[in-house]
Every structure is written in C-alpha cells, then in structure tokens.
Amino acid sequence: QVQLMESGGGSVQSGGSLRLSCAVSGSAQSASCMGWFRRVQVNLREGIASINSDGGTDYANSVKGRFTVSQDNAKNILYLQMNNLTAEDTAMYYCASVGSGDGFSECRAYKVPRFTYSGQGAQVTVSS
C-alpha cells in the first residue's frame, strides 16, 4: 500500500523560506519518479518539481532557481526546499509518486499532477 504524507506547510512572509517533507511508505519507496505539485485553484494543478531514481531533477519555470527537490533514500523522505517565496506561491502543495502502470517515459515536473499516488497536501500561505 502506498502512503505519502506531507508536512512542513505554514505561513511565511514574502521573501521567506519553508521546507516541505513527504514521508513515503509502501511501493512508492522504489518509484522511478516522484515530485511535487500545487493546487492554485480548485481545478488548476501545477506540477512544479520532479526527481527520478538517479537524482535527476526538473522544475517548472515558475519555481526554477527558488525551489529545490531532494530525497533521502535512507529515511524515505522527499523534500521541497522553497526559498524567496512570494504571494503567488500560496497554494496547497502535494507530493506524488508514479504508479507501476503510469507509463511515463520521462520524469518531468509538468507530469507530476497526473501521477497515480499523492498525499493529503500541505498548505503554504505567503503574505506580502
């Protein structure tokens, strides 16, 4: 059974930083691609970062240079370090993992909202 659980969300002023964590259990521990997406509107999800099993990363242009995705394989934790936050980064953030049948040939940030597994989300609010 796959379980993903985010933590580390909160409120911060513009220019500040937060680090999100995602505890990974089950078959997601050996997933070929994992990442983060955020829900900016009810029906709008933006894939922002991905990381493959070799540590290769990809980012959306909106966060490139400010956000960093990483993973601690020993602890089975996925991280998202967010720096220089702005009000436009306010959203619910989710970690996600591909499923065995997803069939994605590339591990790309924009694909993350379509991954089979995701967590409950962590709210990030940035005040200007």
For 34-69, the pLDDT digits (tens) are 999 999 888 899 999 999 999 999 999 999 999 999
Residue 89 carries which DSSP code?
Answer: G
83: confidence class by pLDDT, cuts 50, 70, 90: very high
Q: Does the pLDDT value for residue 72 go beyond 80?
A: yes
Distance, CA of 125 to CA of 128 (rounded, Å): 10
Residue 110 carries which DSSP code?
Answer: G
Handedness of CA 27, 29, 32, 34 (dihedral sign): positive
What pLDDT is recorded for position 79? 98
The residue ranges of DSSP E strands in 8-107, in sequence order, are 10-13, 18-25, 33-41, 44-52, 57-59, 67-72, 77-82, 91-97
